Amino acid sequence: MSSIRRWEGLLTSLNNASTTSSDQQLLNAQNYQETPHQLIKTHNLKSFKEHVRILANWDPSYPTEKVSWYHEYIARNAPISMNWLEQPLSMMNNEKNYIEVKGMGILCDNLEDKNSDNKSGWIVGPIEDGSVCLWDIRDTSSERGGTIVARSREFLLSSDLGNENYSNKHPRVARTVATECVSVDSWTKRAYFAIENGLIEIDLETLSKIRHQIFPLPISALSEARHPVPLSVGTTQSLHLFDTRAKFSSSMKECSSDRVDFYDYTVNCNPSKCNRSFNSLDQLKLGAWPNCAHLQGPGPLKIIHVPNFGTVDSDIYLAGRFPSILVYDRRKFPLLGWSIHSGARLSSMDWLPLNIASEERDLARYGKLSIHEVEETKTKVGRTLIACGEYNSKGSLEMYGFLPTSSLPYKDLGCSGGYLNYSRKNRQTSSNSKLLAVANHGTRIVVSDGGGNLRWFERDGFTQSRCWNIAKNPIGLSRGVFGTQAFDINSWSEDIVIKILDIGSCGKQGVNSSLGDLIVWTGEKIGLVNFSSCSKFVTQEIEENTDKMEAMYVERMRRALVANADEVRWMSDLGVGAP
């Protein structure tokens, strides 16, 4: 907007100069016609005005946000490469067997410095064997960048309340299918993991378990953890508010043989006292969980907290495999506040504290607004909810614009979060397959689809600026002997991105920044998408397995040469017996 105002000031000065010169011409020579030079000058001035007006309509920035156009240019034009973070090894045996990462979250750094744009930190993720890993992403160019800097003991995230030391067998490691199964609170250095129907709180400074809260049904999604706002926990048929400041109750006690000292008292219980034989549906019907909201149909896949206008409270937005977005007012919970009909099966959501979804912005998409109208539109107070999912087997990118209720002539809605002013849905050109994740990335919106593509859209939701497939070879390997792609560690699988986090915004919703690269999770591993011509491999196992990779390459070349020799021998025998 500052650039638009500078252009507007320049236009005003040019108009004044043009008017003065025209008046002088009329006074001195009224009976003379304009010369060709003056006609060309007037035409150039009109063309310059039109050019500035079109730039104002295109400009995606807003007065309240800080945009680095240098980094924006890099993110829009530089080559894209993928760096996979170090894959954890199994601790069960001495063999180097890589195991899967079952989720991710970001532990931010430099939160006290509000003026700092660099808020990167560590990636937190649960591992397949029940341990918790921390990856360092503060400086990926260093030797420790992207490597595992800390890892807890295995079976720390066990779904059993009892300790594994009481059993001769290993405890049952939980299998979770929830995408939003990790929530990290950077202020308290705590992480919350959803394991089946249990919520496990971990102290990231000591990598020890604090408590294990049992819910009546399997957990399907967790909201963002930000102290002191309660954590929203969505199960397959209910929504709960989990106050992280509350002291332990009898159902929250950590069942362990070790002594755990928290909240000025000691918990030391025997696993035989941990009774998990209850009927979850009966408990819901009997009112054993009175402070929960009951949901009909499948559970939510994404939960976000959107602040209200002029207050510190926030509303709870739920989306999933149901046709509407459910909105809960925290002050009236568990009553349903209102709903937004979508018609699509949504998989992810994000939001911006800007009014980017409105009728005026649709006109600006076609360049039909004047400079004054553009400035008036961008100074309006509003919020925008961004959602993505699937509609009729195709991708759906949706935006919902909210305005404060104070702008209404009547105030009978009673919604502190505002009212829905405009909706925009792109169900034609967003993707040919389902959209899985969405995030803000600078002045654009990035989404991932079922084909392994990362797509960057402008804030109108229709104009695609970039598209990149993570399965494609990032360093451009040459073709093999028979036209097949040469072997490389980056081309051994066809991955899809199911979760996206922006390092610059530290994974927080409602924050846009063009300074950070993207952290993506494929369901098995974590990768860093950066904008550079060279792909810096941050995994140390590549150097450790150099001999193994060399042997694999030699074997592949041997097979290729043998196949080539067989082909030559077969071709040479085609003329045998001919006259």
pLDDT digits (tens, 9 = 90+) for 194-209: 998 899 999 999 999 9
**pLDDT, greater one: 216 or 264:** 216
**pLDDT, greater one: 448 or 284:** 448
Model confidence at 289, pLDDT cuts 50, 70, 90, reads confident
**pLDDT, greater one: 488 or 101:** 101
Per-residue model confidence (pLDDT) at position 478: 37
Model confidence at 479, pLDDT cuts 50, 70, 90, reads very low
Query: Residue 272: is its pLDDT beyond 70?
Result: no
Q: Render pLDDT for 290-328 as a digit per residue (tens, 0 to 9).
A: 788 888 878 899 999 998 876 667 899 999 999 999 999
Model confidence at 341, pLDDT cuts 50, 70, 90, reads very high
Q: Which two tokens stand for residue 161?
A: 């309340």
Q: Which two tokens stand for residue 574?
A: 């085609």
Q: Which two tokens stand for residue 480?
A: 């093999």
Query: Residue 574: is its pLDDT beyond 60?
Result: yes
Model confidence at 138, pLDDT cuts 50, 70, 90, reads confident
* Measured distance CA(519)–CA(507) in Å, rounded: 9
* Measured distance CA(393)–CA(390) in Å, rounded: 6
The type of residue at 19 is T
The secondary structure of residue 363, as a DSSP letter, is H
Q: Which has the closest alpha carbon to 454: 415, 497, 486, 494?
A: 497
Model confidence at 39, pLDDT cuts 50, 70, 90, reads low
Per-residue model confidence (pLDDT) at position 21: 46
Per-residue model confidence (pLDDT) at position 278: 45
- When computed from its CA atoms, the radius of gyration of the chain, rounded to whole angstroms, is 29
Per-residue model confidence (pLDDT) at position 114: 55
Per-residue model confidence (pLDDT) at position 312: 64
CB-CB contact of 224 with 509 (8 Å): yes
The secondary structure of residue 98, as a DSSP letter, is B
What b/e string do you get for 197-233 counting C-beta neighbours within 10 Å, with b at 16 or more? bbbbbbebeebbbbbbbbbbbbbbbbbbbbeebbbbb
The region of weakest confidence among 218-222, 378-382, 550-554 is 550-554
Q: Pairing mode, if any, of strands 198-203 and 190-195?
A: antiparallel
Model confidence at 83, pLDDT cuts 50, 70, 90, reads confident
Query: Residue 37: is its pLDDT beyond 80?
Result: no
Per-residue pLDDT, averaged over 1-20, amounts to 53
Per-residue model confidence (pLDDT) at position 11: 55
Q: Which two tokens stand for residue 206?
A: 């000591």
Helices (H), 287-358: none
Mean pLDDT: which of 27-31, 73-77, 172-176 is highest? Answer: 73-77
Per-residue model confidence (pLDDT) at position 314: 83
* Measured distance CA(463)–CA(365) in Å, rounded: 9
Q: What is the mean pLDDT of the chain?
A: 77
The type of residue at 14 is L
Per-residue pLDDT, averaged over 392-421, amounts to 77
Helix (H) / strand (E) element for 555: namely: helix 546-572
Residue 305 buriedness (CB in 10 A; 0-12 / 13-18 / 19+): buried
The secondary structure of residue 87, as a DSSP letter, is P
Per-residue model confidence (pLDDT) at position 253: 43
Query: For the chain, what percent of residues have pLDDT higher than 70?
Result: 67
Query: Residue 346: is its pLDDT beyond 60?
Result: yes
What are the residues whose beta carbons fall under 8 Å from the beta carbon of 101, sequence distance 6 or more?
87, 88, 125, 126, 127, 128, 133, 521, 524, 525, 526
Per-residue model confidence (pLDDT) at position 330: 86
- From residue 575, alpha-carbon distances to 100, 566, 571, 572, 578 in Å are 55, 16, 8, 7, 6
- From residue 348, alpha-carbon distances to 302, 398, 557 in Å are 6, 11, 44
* pTM for this predicted structure: 0.78
Per-residue pLDDT, averaged over 474-496, amounts to 47
Per-residue model confidence (pLDDT) at position 425: 95
Per-residue pLDDT, averaged over 139-159, amounts to 79
Per-residue model confidence (pLDDT) at position 487: 42
Q: Render pLDDT for 493-538 as a digit per residue (tens, 0 to 9).
A: 578 999 999 887 665 555 555 456 899 999 999 999 988 766 554 4
**pLDDT, greater one: 133 or 508:** 133
Model confidence at 260, pLDDT cuts 50, 70, 90, reads very low
The region of weakest confidence among 82-96, 507-521, 565-579 is 507-521
Query: Residue 374: is its pLDDT beyond 70?
Result: yes
Query: Residue 466: is its pLDDT beyond 70?
Result: yes
Per-residue pLDDT, averaged over 484-491, amounts to 42
Nearest 5 degrees, angle CA 564-CA 494-CA 524? 130
Per-residue pLDDT, averaged over 143-157, amounts to 83
Per-residue pLDDT, averaged over 537-554, amounts to 64
Query: Residue 192: is its pLDDT beyond 90?
Result: yes
Query: For the chain, what percent of residues have pLDDT higher than 90?
Result: 32
Per-residue model confidence (pLDDT) at position 516: 64
* Measured distance CA(462)–CA(395) in Å, rounded: 12
Q: Which two tokens stand for residue 442?
A: 């600078």
What are the residues whose beta carbons fall under 8 Å from the beta carbon of 403, sequence distance 6 or more?
355, 380, 381, 382, 418, 419, 421
**pLDDT, greater one: 532 or 102:** 102
